[in-house]
Structure 1
Amino acid sequence: YQVKMESCYSKQTKILVVTEAILVRRLQSNQTLDDVAMLIFDEFHERSIHTDLSLALSLQVQELLRDDLKILIMSATLNSDAISSLLGNIPLITSEGKSYEVENIYLDIKTKQPDFRSLNALLQNTILKALQENEGDILVFLAGAKEIKRLQTSLNNSSISKDILVYPLYSSLSKNEQDRAITK
């Protein structure tokens, strides 16, 4: 893998996972991508300027320099017909995945910008209620690392801390900490 401040690969690496921004830099510095056989754009529906630029540059490399370069675009929610048309009616492969029932619960928050203490209290109460009413794990998505750390500290200092294990997951954690969160 190669992310902003960390990388782990060698000449023996067969699959390298990079961010879109790093792919753009690689395309700018090594325009032929002579060491790459295939580019895979996963979760393509999560588009950004880097994703779009990476795809545009990759298509240009494929058209002008490397007709052997394979490009695979994957997404669970993308309008595949539009992408196929954009890319010259490329073939589509559809895979029906397993669906899991998800329940969205929207809380009635009275203020537009709750302070972090009231938000953490609300999150703690919601998590406690979910633990009492359901079996299994609870996955909580928050805006960023700061919010995740704040909630983790709140939960670890709360009365329910003996009943739960909190495994944060965000990009600036070490690889070991990320692996621990994913394997639990």
Structure 2
Amino acid sequence: MMLRMFTKVNVKRLIMLLAITVVSAAVMTGCSGKPEGERSEVTIGELTQRLKQAVKLEELKQRDKETLKRLYRLGDEEVEDFVLYTDVSNVKADEVAVIQAKDAAQAERVKQYVSKRIDAQTAKFKDYRPEEYGLIQKHVLKREGRFVLFAVSKDADRIEQVFDEALR
């Protein structure tokens, strides 16, 4: 009889221990990381490194805030961070921009401003340099969360692939 009672006590303890373990695991899972379905956000610096490894950006010049403002009419009120590469001369249309907006609403606005840049470049190169105009026609413009990608390049497809992979 004593043996049966000992077994019942052990079984109760084992059940209690399992219940505590399950509850603890549920609490720890609920408190860790971001909500389900939300991606961890990559930085512009990380994205730039990935782009440099995937495509040759050495032929382009990295630009500053003043150039971003001049080309896209964007400033600190919309943009949290960015990387912008353009051709050193004005005779080529090559351009790569990854812009991180302050929030999703700003990202949509950034995309609209980039569209205006595409229109300006299209008008500029249409009759002047047909081969560059062709590159512009094959541009990539997309938004993913707070990030906007704009690429005019013979490697635009690869740039888009790197962008997509980084933001998965």
TM surpasses 0.5: no
TM-score by length of 2: 0.29
Which of these two proteins has the greater Rg computed from alpha carbons?
2
Determine which structure has greater relative contact order: mean sequence separation of CA pairs < 8 Å that are 6+ residues apart, divided by chain length: 2
